[in-house]
Amino acid sequence: VNLEEIARLSGVSRSTVSRVINNRPGVNPKTRERVFEVINRLDYHPSAAARRLAGGHANILGLVIPMGVPRLFTDPFFPLLIQGVSQACSAHDHSVMLWVAEPEYERRTIRQVLQNKMIDGVIVASAILDDPLLEAMIEGSLPFVLVGRHPAAPQVNYVDVDNFTSSREIVTYLLRLGYRRVATITGPQNMIAGLDRLEGYRSALHQWGIPVNPDLILSGDFMEEGGYTAMQRLIPRHPQAIFCASDAMAVGALRALREASLRVPEDVAVTSFDDLPFSAHAEPPLTTVRQPIQRMGATAVETLMDIIAHPDSPPRSVILPTEIIIRASCCPAGQTGKEAMPGTEKITTNV
């Protein structure tokens, strides 16, 4: 079943069928209706290959996850993102081409993506500063959207949450509970989210006139293992409360605290960032910043489709809201957790 056949059966030319399919103006409504009827009856779908070759859109978006092996399966961030992207594409009758860019093959992947004449645009889920892939994308002419803000290039379209403000607010929450010796386990400082979350921590302390103590800032890697080892080094420094820059690190931190026989939240209060599905089942359940990962994926798709449709409009940036999810890993300073804490509760922020 091809366009030719639809034209024949509707009694019009191929040009007209093409106009109908692509929703172009200037077609008699009755003609349009007749053509649609035939299309639906035959369950006709245009060939992406032919479309693309003829200079049109293939309705295929690329998704690039430039990530070394570890984090891809340490936590469900990327699976959720992939799902959001995939769902939104499906809903808009687009397909998605996926690249998982291992660092050692990065150059090759860049070529594969940019020289791939099949895709209409790309979603890049990289938050690594100075990612060569990102630089290549900026140089190139393929429309793309970044998941995560870009610190330097203002022309880059992106979808993100406000990592800075969200982090400042959850640290402020700890300060309000009465803690003063608040530590942080940071994300990698070559990722924008890692930087912003640390800045949010610093900003909250500044606002409350509390000096930032370098001994209470430990660097992590967003993963369980990194949270675990950072916490081990932190324990001798006797923090009252901690802000981990990711849930996965918080789980590692909880493990280190348990091994040291410290109770959470009675001895140390713990907060983090992400609200991944496992965070509600941690021991204790985590108080954390929820970011809408799936929605970020879906929003990236919609933003990219809009960019493709309107290539000359100014750069787009979308900031999605977060909320603070309050669970049992915190309690007011000086109290025991059990008596003081409510069930899960939400504080919506950055709306």
What are the C-alpha distances in Å from 304 to residues 61, 65, 127, 264, 299?
A: 9, 16, 17, 43, 8
Q: Does 111 interact with a copy of itself (rule: CB under 8 A)? A: yes
| Residue closer to a copy of itself, measured from CB, 79 or 292 | 79
Residue 185 CB: number of other CB atoms within 10 A? 33
Q: Does 19 interact with DNA (rule: CB under 7 A)? A: yes
Q: Does 132 interact with a copy of itself (rule: CB under 8 A)? A: no
Q: Which residues of 253-271 are buried (b: 16+ CB within 10 A; e: fewer)?
A: bbbbbeeeeeebbeebbbb
Judged by CB under 8 A, which stretch of 34-42, 65-73, 195-203, 205-213 contacts a copy of itself?
A: 65-73
Give, rounded to a whole angstrom, the gap between the first and last alpha carbons of the chain. 48
Instruction: Output the six-digit token pair for 155.
Output: 């022309």
Number of helical H runs and strand E runs in the chain: 14, 13
- Amino acid 123 reads I
Q: Does 224 interact with a copy of itself (rule: CB under 8 A)? A: yes
Minimum distance from CB of 259 to a copy of itself (Å)?
Answer: 9
Residue numbers 23-62 binding DNA by CB under 7 A: 25-29, 31-32, 44, 46-47, 50-51, 53-56
Residues in contact with a copy of itself, total (CB under 8 A)? 50
Q: Three-state DSSP class for 228?
A: helix
E strand or H helix at 242, and its extent? strand 241-244
Q: Does 115 interact with DNA (rule: CB under 7 A)? A: no
Chain residues binding DNA by CB under 7 A are: 2-4, 11-16, 18-19, 21-22, 25-29, 31-32, 44, 46-47, 50-51, 53-56
Chain residues binding a copy of itself by CB under 8 A are: 43, 45, 47-50, 52-53, 58, 60, 63, 69, 72-74, 76, 78-80, 82-83, 86-87, 90, 93, 95-100, 102, 105, 108-109, 111-112, 115-118, 224-225, 255, 258, 276-278, 281, 283
